[in-house]
Structure 1
Amino acid sequence: MEDFLRPLYQERASQANTLGVLFIEKKQKSIPTTDTFDAVLLIVVKEAEQAVFIKHYTYEHKKAALHVVTEAQINEWILLGTNRKIFDWFYNGKIQFDRNEYLYNLKKELMEFPFYGRKVKMGLEFARLIRRYMDGKAFFENKHHLDAYNHVVHSLHHLARLAVIENGFHPEVTVWHQVKQIEPEIFKLYSELVTSEESIEKRLELLFLASEFLIHSRTKVGVMHLQEVLAQKDIWAFQEILSHNELKEYSVDLSMLLEYLIEKGYIEVVNQETKGQGVFHRNYKVAEKLS
């Protein structure tokens, strides 16, 4: 299969725009890292009209996929964790071409997982966790148990990913396998939610009690990145936070996260007068105990 695919990337390898070529072969049928394909060729380029371009091929009853992806898109996937397969590809893929050791250095950085990158990813996972958890709690309080269950399952996934990142690893496709080794308490909580014979209402009730402590214990590391950015000046309007270059990825989860942190005493509200009598601008600052 590797020999068959070689002509597909050799011409691209000679182009200055190509940074590296990675060959990924399917090894376990049960793990969908290649999307059921027998092999994947990942070609990373500096720039392209399309951030992701994919072609499919057939050869002797086998199938292969060619992915041409820009460097910017790779960086976004790594930061946001929106394409978990990419980590498995870099960990286990075979380098076929590497301009100026681009792929080698990227793989090394992924293995070492610098602390700054961890802080950002923990912040994003924590924001998603709070969004799902708070939405789930609201559905539960309004007796919408199936909707609450859906949100709580997702919140546990974010809690699991946060725990993996906190321990210095990238969350992979098999995140629950990772969590079972790293944080068995979270794994047990998840298992009890999905396998218990208790009523769904009782399961959710018990989970909310247990989750409260687990989330509280991770709040400090989860808000470290946000706190450091907000400490750069005294008072922030919401739009200033939302559009800050380092915080814009929090996007739709930011408002809910701020409200949670206000409730827990990490963020303070600062009201500033407007021209309207009794109407104030609602601004934000890092709480005194954290500044």
Structure 2
Amino acid sequence: MEDVLRPIYQERASHPQTLGILMIEKGSDYSPETDLFDVVLFVIVREGEEPIFIKHYAFEEKSASLHIVDERQVKEWVLLGSNRKVMNWLLNGKVLFDRNEYIEQWRQRLLQFPIEERKVKMGIEFAKLVRRYIEGRSFFEKDQWLDAYNHVLHALHHLARLSIIENGFYPEVTVWNQVKHIEPQVHKLYAELVGSEEPLDKRLQLLFLASDFFIHSKLKQGASHLIHVLEKKETSWSMADLLNEQELAVYGVDLAILLEFLVEKHILSVEKIATKGQGVFHRHYMVEKKIKKRC
């Protein structure tokens, strides 16, 4: 297969912008890692005309997919976990071309998982966990049990990813297999939710109680990155300030709910700034003084 595709990837390797080329072959008849194609050629370029360019090929009754991706896009996928199969490609793909050991450096970085990147990813997963938990609780209180179940399932998934990251690993596609060995209590929650014979409302009730405990236990690590950013200045932050802060862009739509949750938990405090309207104030945010002392 590699011999047939050699002219395609050799042409890409000759481009000065190409940093590395990986080949990933389909593992089974139903292989989501290659989007069901027989083989994927993953080309990382320093700067492309567009962030993602894809071409499909047919050969010998087989199929191939060529992905040419800007390195900034790859970094975003890895940071946000928004394209999880790319992690497997980077770690396990066969290296066909590696300019100045670019792919090897990627692999070393993924295996070492620097603490600063870990904090950012924990913050992202914690924010998503909080949103799913709160939304699930709201549905549960309205007796909308199937919608509550859906949100709790997603909340547990974010909790599992958070646990894996906290232990120094990148979450893989097979998250539950990972977390079973890293934090079996979280895996047990998942098994009880999907496999218990208890009525659904009873299962959810127990899961919310357990989730309260786990969210509290992950609070310090989950809020660490946001606290670090807020402490960069002595004065409080308006919502506009926060939305314009590049380091916080990774939280997306989950930033507001995370802020409010941390206010409720007395991690952040609210400063009221007077407006022209009598009795109406702007809300600005800062880290609680007692938290700063601990840090």
TM range (shorter): over 0.9
Aligned with 2:110: secondary structure?
Answer: helix
TM-score (norm 1): 0.97
Aligned partners of 1:29 and 1:228: how far apart in 2?
46
Aligned partners of 1:125 and 1:5: how far apart in 2?
38
Q: Give 2:88's aligned residue.
A: 88
Q: Give 2:121's aligned residue.
A: 121
Aligned with 1:272: secondary structure?
Answer: strand
Aligned partner of 2:146: which letter? L
Aligned partners of 1:45 and 1:228: how far apart in 2?
32
Aligned with 1:223: secondary structure?
Answer: helix
1:104-143 map, 5 Å? 104-143=104-143
1:151-190 map, 5 Å? 151-190=151-190
Aligned partner of 2:98: which letter? D
Report how many aligned residue pairs link the two structures.
291
Alpha carbons 1:43, 1:66 under 8 Å: kept = yes
Aligned with 1:290: secondary structure?
Answer: helix
Displacement, 1:29? Answer: 4.7
Aligned partners of 2:283 and 2:238: how far apart in 1?
7
Q: CA RMSD in A?
A: 1.2
Aligned partner of 1:107: which letter? R
Aligned partners of 1:257 and 1:221: how far apart in 2?
13
Displacement, 1:111? Answer: 1.0
Q: Give 1:276's aligned residue.
A: 277
Q: Give 1:263's aligned residue.
A: 264
Q: Give 2:286's aligned residue.
A: 285
Whether 2:219 is the aligned partner of 1:225: answer: no
Alpha carbons 2:55, 2:67 under 8 Å: kept = yes
Aligned partner of 1:111: which letter? L
Aligned with 2:214: secondary structure?
Answer: helix
Aligned partners of 2:41 and 2:35: how far apart in 1?
12
Q: Are residues 31 and 210 of structure 1, via their aligned partners in 2, closer, same or farther at CA, if it must alter by over 3 Å? A: farther
1:140-151 map, 5 Å? 140-151=140-151
Aligned partners of 2:196 and 2:254: how far apart in 1?
30
Q: Give 1:8's aligned residue.
A: 8
Q: Give 2:99's aligned residue.
A: 99
Alpha carbons 1:230, 1:285 under 8 Å: kept = yes
Q: Give 1:194's aligned residue.
A: 194
Aligned partner of 1:280: which letter? F
Alpha carbons 2:30, 2:36 under 8 Å: kept = no
Aligned partners of 2:221 and 2:125: how far apart in 1?
11
Q: Give 1:240's aligned residue.
A: 241
Displacement, 1:59? Answer: 2.0
Displacement, 1:248? Answer: 1.2
Alpha carbons 1:88, 1:172 under 8 Å: kept = yes
Aligned with 2:291: secondary structure?
Answer: coil
Structure 1: runs of 5 or more not aligned: none
Please, which moves more after superposition, 141-150 or 163-172? Answer: 141-150
Aligned partner of 1:275: which letter? K
Displacement, 1:211? Answer: 0.8
Aligned partners of 2:238 and 2:30: how far apart in 1?
48
Aligned partner of 1:269: which letter? V
Identity of paired residues, percent?
Answer: 58
Aligned partners of 2:252 and 2:150: how far apart in 1?
21
Displacement, 1:258? Answer: 0.8
What CA deviation, in whole Å up to 9, does each residue of 1:202-259 have, x standing for no partner? 1111100111101110010001000000011230101111220100111210111111
Alpha carbons 1:21, 1:41 under 8 Å: kept = yes
Displacement, 1:102? Answer: 1.4
Alpha carbons 1:17, 1:47 under 8 Å: kept = yes
Alpha carbons 2:130, 2:155 under 8 Å: kept = yes
Aligned partners of 2:263 and 2:31: how far apart in 1?
41
